[in-house]
Amino acid sequence: MTAAKELNPTSRSVLTIDVRTVDTLHDLAAMTTRDPYNDFDAYLDEVRTTVPRLPAELRTRLSEFAAGSTGEGALLLRGLTLRGQVPPTPALPVAAPATKNQFSEYVMSVVAASLGEPVGYAEERDGQIFQDVFPVRENAAALSSQSSSADLGYHTEMAFHPNPPDYLLLYTLRGDPDGTALTRFAATRNVLRELDTDVLAALSARDYMVVLRRLHSPYFAGGKPVREMDSGPWVSILGGDPLDPSLRYEPELMQPRHERAAEALRELTTAIERRAHHVALEAGDALILDNRRAVHARSSFRARYDGRDRWLRRMHITREQLAGSGRILTTDLAPGSYR
């Protein structure tokens, strides 16, 4: 993987939160009374009432990001620190929250409420809204968010899904103590400027099969477990408005139909690596990625499994109005479900 450039702290993609704003956010978080894990909808209703009271600069930057007006594809909020001591990083997947302070849940929920609706996917961690991400020994070399010794290549979140989230939110409870776990990302607008029109045309054709049998989660397609599928839906890499296209990208799960499609995918990958930036996420960082306008990746790092490892909290957000099925989506990956 080509080395990405370090993110400039003065970039439009970065907003450093001042102490007064952090104090205000802690005060707003303390106003909530509902349990974000056992009564999330009621908790989110409480959080929504606090959005108009967010400090003006934070509210403006979130609004600009939601409108896509910056074109950066990512917004890093720095300095959103918890008060008190963060408990040891878990070593095994946990069903219940391992933190008592609910400041991270408030920050994530108020950001989500400013952008759209938090969603869960029934086949992904049983539909959890708040997902803890940390290294797990048995998955150290897997292509998984629980890995550490393996690089996670550039991708859009849940590229295999007919309804991937519009935004990915990562809140850092604890950074990598060595500072070597790098989160990489690249904005689609910057990447596509490097590609010729014939490459863009190839990427816009439904010439990429999603190889469903490579998925680890318990999805079904046409009522059949995906691990038994020999084929999958044909999708395009680029879609939507040709002047501002959305991106669906995960090479490990995509099989090109022919050499022209394969070459276009290789050229896109090279352009992504040229235009990418990286950041070592620190405690109190909240990274928002526009999943339609950015790809992201993560470098390998050393995990110790001693309670001090990197620990993130993840949330998926959609701009769509939630239908009658509610906040937790259950999806059959049948070819007809892809737009």
Binding-site residues from annotation for Fe cation: 155, 157
What are 223's two structure tokens? 């009522």
Residues annotated within the binding site are 155, 157
Residue 99 tokens read as: 């933190």
Closest CA to 113 of 173, 33, 58: 58
Of residues 224, 226, 203, the one with CA closest to residue 214: 226
Q: What is the dihedral of CA 298, 304, 306, 312, to 10 degrees?
A: 0
Q: How far is CA 52 from CA 6, 190, 272, 303, 318, in A?
A: 34, 33, 37, 41, 20
Report yes or no: 211 and 255 within 8 Å, Cβ to Cβ.
yes
Instruction: Return d(Cα 13, Cα 231) in angstroms, integer.
Output: 39
Which residues are within 8 A (CB) of 94 and not within 5 positions of it... i.e. 6 or more apart? 132
- The C-alpha angle 336, 337, 339, rounded to 5 degrees, equals 95
Strand partners of residue 77: 15, 286
DSSP symbols for 202-249? HHTSS-EEE-GGG--S--EETTEEGGG-S---EE-SEES-TTS-EE--
